Chains A and B, each alone.
Chain A
Amino acid sequence: MAAELQLAAAEGRRVAPGDAETAAFAVRGMTVSYGPKPAVFSVDMTVPEGSMTAVIGPNGAGKSTLLKAALGLQTPLAGRATAFGQPVTDVRDRIAYVPQRASVDWGFPTRVIDVVAMGLYREMGLLGRFGARLKARAADAIARVGMAEFADRQIGQLSGGQQQRVFLARALAQDADLYLLDEPFAGVDAATEKAIIAVLKELKARGKTVVAVHHDLSTVTEYFDRVVLLNVRKIAEGAVGEAFTADTLRAAYGGRLAAADLPGAVHAI
């Protein structure tokens, strides 16, 4: 079944989507376009609860766009997204989003602790107190990403890796069940990458669901248990061992894939 799924996917054939009702996250028939050409075309994807899924594809493949449209940040031309069987807009409390780091102005006049506290907004509301209990939760989230001593730092003074950790801490503070991350490893050093993956694996161990846009093909097998290959269309989807192969990669990346990029695991197949 898995092999057939992969083959079918490689040939551009549709695979019957899994059950959106039971999935932690599901996208159906999603088409998004900024201009005369769709950035994402008719994509289905299904993420089982408790899994860790990488969304991979070349630059401009529509990975960020897919996440944004699923979260309602971008109006799709067609399609819908659900989480835990309900429309995403109805379960925002259970979803934490980590945008691409470069999407904000890090010169914004604020501190690490204030950014992380944004993750508690849905609990605080407009005028609710940022009391001891919530403060403890924010501090705990900061500690989990190893930034405890930077809590009072101005965010403009952080390194790229530290900024990424802050974004992750803000999502952790939400205490969500589904985490959607856009390139959490982009431009971070090895130590930060280790710290972040440790946090994500711990989330998975606690039964949470993680979906991350990912760029480094050499670490997919090590970090994730499922992949979605995307290049405007969905190219393949499934367990890493089956959907992440030389064929599917070639189908997703076309001429942009150097032989050296192919992961060792793939050659073995």
Chain B
Amino acid sequence: MLFEALTLGLGYNASLVTLGAAALGMAAGVTGTFLYLRKRALVSDAISHATLPGIAAAFMLAVALGGDGRGLPVLLLGSAVSAALGLLAVQWLASRTRLTEDAAIGAVLSVFFGFGVVLLTVIQTLSTGRQAGLEDFLLGATAGMLRSEALLIAVGGLVTLAIVVVLRRPMLMTAFDPSHASAMGVNLTRTDIAMMGLVMAVTVVGLKIVGLILIVALLIIPPVAARFWSDRADRVVLLAGVVGGVAGWVGAAFSATAADLPTGPMIVLAAFALFCLSFLLAPGRGLMAAALRAASFRTRVHLRQGLLAIANDQPIYETLTLRLLARRGLALPDGVPTEAGRAAAARARLDEERWAIVRADPSLELAAARYDGLTPLEDVLTVDQISEIDARRPAPEALA
């Protein structure tokens, strides 16, 4: 069953939803990366919550004009309008008052959502409102979806994805280094508007699948997960697209296999699973790699400090330093250095003396920048350069 779902074997609607979710996930992952790199991840939360009054108002308007109000395109149009208003409100509050952006986001999302709830209760009292089913937009609902709706979502997801692909260059440049982008002729305002437009597109397309409360997850979790794997912005963008696409595909497929597996939460949980994998296992920034590196770093620092203390006949204060020296046979447990310890200490001190010369010499600035107290100079300069530096060292007698 799961296999069929994953390979689009569960019927036309379910397949469309799965495809749409995957395209939406990719578009959301990529768009979300731009937001994340600009440190504005939670703006999307305000945008998505701000869709609710628009959905309700569009329904009421359509009913007032004689329609039944349930047409998905109309509702999505309404949601887009109020999402845009919400975004404008956030930007106005954050730029024209002393409130910070996080406060503006929180205020807008709660007030718009609250007003949306007021409108929903108004709709419930209308005679046509009882079966409006607008609550489905809160958490998404793909069961019993009309074929035309599924088609709309699949097409919407693919179109959004296509726009993202077209606009990736200027957006990437802007997210990475706005002043550089502007110097290269990128129009920052327009790029920002395009980025926010895409966030809105993702939100609106995702409303019916994931729901407005959880859609932010698709914009936030993939970039955060992708960030663990690379420091290069273009790779992060690509990876976030993959993470979002996989989460959309797998989550939607899982959800198609049983009635009590709601699509939105399944997609979010799939994305979270990928996040956890990345958080724990990614080489470089992942938790395990970082922990191992931190432990070895601490060992190197303490050993080096211990050796320098031995070289300078200073007492060693830290018990960890003493333990590490003793374990490597460089000193006895009470801190008295062994033969090997003295030799290593002399080497460490020689290295420090050479480094001091390098760091004082403006012509060696590039090498000096690599000084971290731990890296031996041999790793940075050639043998010839080092002997040139040794020549500049005062003869040992001169110091005595």
Q: A: which residues have CB within 8 A of B?
A: 7-8, 10-14, 16-17, 28-29, 31, 33, 36-38, 41-42, 77-80, 107, 231-233, 235, 247, 250-251, 254-257
Q: How far is the CA of A235 from the CA of B368 in the complex (A)?
A: 14
Chain A, interface SS category: mixed
New A-B pairs, 5, CB < 8 Å, besides A36-B293, A247-B360, A255-B361 = A10-B356, A33-B301, A38-B301, A38-B374, A77-B298
Question: A255, B365: Cβ atoms under 8 Å?
Answer: yes
| A42 touches which of B305, B355, B368 (Cβ 8 Å) | B305
23 contacts between A and B (CB under 8 A): A10-B356, A10-B360, A11-B399, A13-B349, A14-B308, A14-B311, A16-B313, A17-B314, A28-B317, A31-B305, A31-B373, A77-B298, A78-B301, A78-B302, A79-B317, A231-B359, A235-B356, A254-B359, A254-B361, A254-B364, A255-B362, A255-B363, A256-B365
State how many angstroms separate the Cβ of A268 from the closest Cβ of chain B.
Answer: 20
- Number of residues on chain B facing chain A (CB within 8 A): 38
Chain B, interface SS category: helix
Listed residue (A8, A33, A79, A256) with the most chain B CB atoms within 10 angstroms of its CB: A33
Listed residue (A16, A17, A33, A255) with the most chain B CB atoms within 10 angstroms of its CB: A255
Q: B: which residues have CB within 8 A of A?
A: 98, 293, 297-298, 301-302, 304-305, 308-309, 311-314, 317-318, 320-321, 349, 352-353, 355-356, 359-365, 368, 371-374, 393-394, 399
Residues of A within 8 A of B399 (CB): 7-8, 11, 13
Across the interface, name the chain A residue whose C-beta is closest to B373: A41
Question: A78, B314: Cβ atoms under 8 Å?
Answer: no
Question: B371, A12: Cβ atoms under 8 Å?
Answer: no
State how many angstroms separate the Cβ of B100 from the closest Cβ of chain A.
Answer: 9
Residues of B within 8 A of A79 (CB): 317-318
Q: How far is the CA of A20 from the CA of B352 in the complex (A)?
A: 24
Q: How far is the CA of A162 from the CA of B84 in the complex (A)?
A: 43
Question: B293, A107: Cβ atoms under 8 Å?
Answer: no
Residues of A within 8 A of B308 (CB): 14, 42
Question: B318, A33: Cβ atoms under 8 Å?
Answer: no
Residues of B within 8 A of A31 (CB): 301, 305, 373
Across the interface, name the chain B residue whose C-beta is closest to A28: B317
Residues of A within 8 A of B301 (CB): 31, 33, 38, 41, 77-78
| B297 touches which of A10, A36, A231 (Cβ 8 Å) | A36
Question: A78, B318: Cβ atoms under 8 Å?
Answer: yes
Across the interface, name the chain B residue whose C-beta is closest to A249: B360
State how many angstroms separate the Cβ of A249 from the closest Cβ of chain B.
Answer: 9
Residues of A within 8 A of B318 (CB): 29, 78-79
Q: Top 6 nearest A-B pairs by Cβ distance?
A: A12-B356, A255-B362, A14-B312, A41-B373, A255-B365, A251-B360
| A250 touches which of B293, B309, B352, B360 (Cβ 8 Å) | B360
State how many angstroms separate the Cβ of A248 from the closest Cβ of chain B.
Answer: 9
Question: B394, A254: Cβ atoms under 8 Å?
Answer: no
